[in-house]
Amino acid sequence: MKRTTGAELIVRLLERQGVTAIAGIPGGCNLPLYDALRASSIRHVLARHEQGAGFIAQGMARVTGQPAVCLGTSGPGATNLLTAIADAKLDSIPLVAITGQVPRAMIGTDAFQEIDTYGLTVPITKHNFLVRSAGELLEVVPEAFRIAASGRPGPVVIDVPKDVQNEGILIDGLPLPGRPDPLPLPRAEDVARAAAMIDAAERPVLLVGAGVIAAGACAALRCIVDKAALPSAATLLGLGALPYDHPRFLGMVGMHAARSTNLALEECDLLVGLGVRFDDRAIGKAAEFCPDARIIHVDIDASELGKIKEPTLAMRADVGATLRALAAAVAPATRPAWNRRIARLRAEHPLVMRAADDPLDPYGIIRHTAAMLSPDAIVTTDVGQHQMWAAQAFPCTRPRQWLTSGGLGTMGFGLPAAIGAALAAPGRTVVCFSGDGSLLMNLQELATAVEENVDVKIVLLNNAHLGLVRQHQELFFGGRYHASRFRTEPDFAAIARGFGARAWDLGDAADPRSTLARALAAPGPVLVNVPIDAAENVYPMVAPGGANREMIGGELHAAER
């Protein structure tokens, strides 16, 4: 028997889970936990806002695929974490958030910094716990990790009252770490039927989502794509599952897809959805998506099957095992007619990136940055036009290289996620493409980046606007602009220097290319301000609620063919 406290127990259990770094902020109700952390091998990263801590943990989780941990105190600490937790829910990221709570006897009394964290996090977590005794931690902590990582991953909250952290307890051993549940395998008859449907299809397309990356199924995906010559599109979160230059890869589908990608899906007679949830930004008007196609839908979450599109064949299974079985079962094929048709669509309706040579053009800065980075670099984005330009133009080659807030679309994601990614992948550069609106939402984390001296390069596409909002007002609100232009323009380079980071401004640079190269090669956190023409829009664009075939802009002019 060994004497310990709730707080020490949490720390031991986290260590046994293999946690090596945690992001958080201390406060009254989690101080016992922080006291116990002092004696631990776990590295604590002091964020400057709990939302930053949540996204730092997300960055770690998105790069490693393992659950990552963030900490906050009760009340405002917990409410500040909510956005990052909700973001993890919508993008299926394994996150364990541990919050302090007021002592048990004070729960329900409107005590200082008391908030109903349990109630607030019910709708934005996979599961949550309010711990009622130190003994419960022996079960709750491993359970939280098991749940976060099992099946479709997601966030779990553990709310721990301060007196539970202080409670003395005698234990005679520690439980095994929580590990993911075994994965559901596909049924042999479904595999056979799916393979037959693929073999029989004349115009099949695969739609690859985040589930393929979460399942570690990209090698199996390549196998079947190559064997059966299957054109494949990706969702925003599926980017990287196939390398951008794979001959069968069609790029991103949906609201800002290349015209050829949406048109190929329009023409397909079989759609194979792999770890996708048919989000409206990806499929446009659901009733008009892939109008002529039979659908095979593979997902580990049964509630996604038939939620938006009724599949001909629904397979509730691990997409990795399914792809391996399917790759063995399908007949080798070359599909000359369909792939010729695709090649023609791509030649006639490509993604048009006119000024990609110019480093002050949106596509240009993304292409130049990519060309200067080592191939093992990681990319994060914020949310807005710059995110969509990066999704269109950044040449992703690997799963877990591309980290972006898809489901919740959270401005402020980019910088803290980049810090987390850099902490989880030491030795690799992390570039964060941000906008001047988004960066301000978690700018304070520059202090964290400098303190941890992470290799994070912020490339700021600065249009002095909430650019994507301005674009919507231009296209869908008759050009009636309101509240989308910033009337003051901060000097971001000076601000970054004020935090202790290095900074360059391509607006003042005689040779922007060489300045960019110098900035990306400099050690530690760096900000590069890139003035962008505010009138630039992301094209093509499908109007919200519209069918994917009805795209605005982005045509290749006849003279350019």
Partner 1 sequence: MRQSAEVVLRLQVRNHPGVMSHVCGLFARRAFNVEGILCLPVGDATRSTILLLVHDDDRLDQMILQLRKLEDVLEINRAHDAREAFATVRPFLQ
Ligand X SMILES: Cc1ncc(C[n+]2csc(CCOP(=O)(O)OP(=O)(O)O)c2C)c(N)n1
Residue 239 binding target from partner 1, ligand X, none, CB below 5 to 8 Å by type: none
Does 382 help bind ligand X (rule: CB under 6 A)? Answer: yes
The one among 52, 72, 467, 540 contacting ligand X by CB under 6 A? 467
Residue 465 binding target from partner 1, ligand X, none, CB below 5 to 8 Å by type: ligand X
Does 119 help bind partner 1 (rule: CB under 8 A)? Answer: yes
Put residue 44 in one of left, alpha, beta given phi > 0 → left and psi -120 to 50 → alpha. Answer: beta
The one among 10, 13, 147, 377 contacting partner 1 by CB under 8 A? 147
Site string for partner 1, 357-396 (x = CB under 8 A): ----------------------------------------
Does 385 help bind ligand X (rule: CB under 6 A)? Answer: yes
Does 527 help bind ligand X (rule: CB under 6 A)? Answer: no
Q: Which has the closest alpha carbon to 78: 106, 53, 103, 108?
A: 53
Does 384 help bind ligand X (rule: CB under 6 A)? Answer: yes
Q: How far is the CB of 378 from ligand X (least distance, A)?
A: 20
Does 80 help bind ligand X (rule: CB under 6 A)? Answer: no
Count of residues engaged in binding partner 1, rule: CB under 8 A: 14
Q: Which is nearer to ligand X, 125 or 473 (CB)?
A: 473
Q: How far is the CB of 342 from ligand X (least distance, A)?
A: 31
Kindly identify the residues of this chain, within the stretch 292-321, that bind partner 1 according to CB under 8 A. 301-303, 306-307
3-state class (DSSP) for residue 315: strand
Q: What's CA 483's distance to the chain center, in Å?
A: 28
**Read out DSSP for 389-439?**
HHHHHS---STTSEE---SS--TT-HHHHHHHHHHHSTTS-EEEEEETTHH
* Phi, psi torsion values for 529, nearest 5 degrees: -85, 125
The contacts of residue 308 (CB under 8 Å, 6+ apart) are 277, 278, 283, 286
Residue 467 binding target from ligand X, partner 1, none, CB below 5 to 8 Å by type: ligand X
Q: Which has the closest alpha carbon to 273: 327, 329, 205?
A: 205
Q: How far is the CB of 194 from partner 1 (least distance, A)?
A: 21
Residue carrying the six token digits 């539970």: 164
Does 126 help bind partner 1 (rule: CB under 8 A)? Answer: yes
Q: How far is the CB of 157 from ligand X (least distance, A)?
A: 20
Q: How far is the CB of 472 from ligand X (least distance, A)?
A: 9
- CA distance linking residue 293 with residue 201, whole number of Å: 10
Does 461 help bind ligand X (rule: CB under 6 A)? Answer: yes
Give the end-to-end CA distance of the chain in Å, rounded to a whole number: 78
- CA distance linking residue 222 with residue 507, whole number of Å: 42
Residue 123 binding target from partner 1, ligand X, none, CB below 5 to 8 Å by type: partner 1
Q: Is 73 exposed, middle or buried (0-12, 13-18, 19+ CB in 10 A)?
A: buried
Q: How far is the CB of 160 from partner 1 (least distance, A)?
A: 15
Whether the CB-CB separation of 461 and 487 falls below 8 Å is answered with: no
Does 409 help bind ligand X (rule: CB under 6 A)? Answer: yes
Q: How far is the CB of 248 from ligand X (least distance, A)?
A: 30
Q: How far is the CB of 280 from ligand X (least distance, A)?
A: 15
Q: Is 398 exposed, middle or buried (0-12, 13-18, 19+ CB in 10 A)?
A: middle
Does 325 help bind partner 1 (rule: CB under 8 A)? Answer: no
> Angle of helix 512-521 relative to helix 362-372, nearest 10 degrees?
50
Q: How far is the CB of 164 from partner 1 (least distance, A)?
A: 15
Does 130 help bind partner 1 (rule: CB under 8 A)? Answer: yes
The one among 105, 122, 219, 287 contacting partner 1 by CB under 8 A? 122
**Hey, which residues does 44 pair with through a beta bridge?**
22
Q: Which has the closest alpha carbon to 275: 370, 153, 376, 367?
A: 153
- CA distance linking residue 123 with residue 144, whole number of Å: 16
Q: How far is the CB of 277 from partner 1 (least distance, A)?
A: 13
Q: Which is nearer to ligand X, 279 or 318 (CB)?
A: 279
Residue 472 binding target from ligand X, partner 1, none, CB below 5 to 8 Å by type: none
Q: How far is the CB of 331 from ligand X (least distance, A)?
A: 45
Q: What amino acid is encoded at 541 in this protein?
A: M
Does 128 help bind partner 1 (rule: CB under 8 A)? Answer: yes
- CA distance linking residue 260 with residue 554, whole number of Å: 11
Q: What amino acid is encoded at 323 in this protein?
A: L
- CA distance linking residue 56 with residue 223, whole number of Å: 34
- CA distance linking residue 95 with residue 156, whole number of Å: 6
Kindly identify the residues of this chain, within the stretch 428-447, that bind ligand X according to CB under 6 A. 435-438, 441
Site string for partner 1, 237-276 (x = CB under 8 A): ----------------------------------------
Q: How far is the CB of 115 from partner 1 (least distance, A)?
A: 15
Q: What amino acid is encoded at 300 in this protein?
A: I
Which residues contribute to the site for partner 1 (CB under 8 A)? 118-119, 122-123, 126-128, 130, 147, 301-303, 306-307
Interaction site with ligand X (CB under 6 A): 382-386, 409-412, 435-438, 441, 461, 463, 465-469
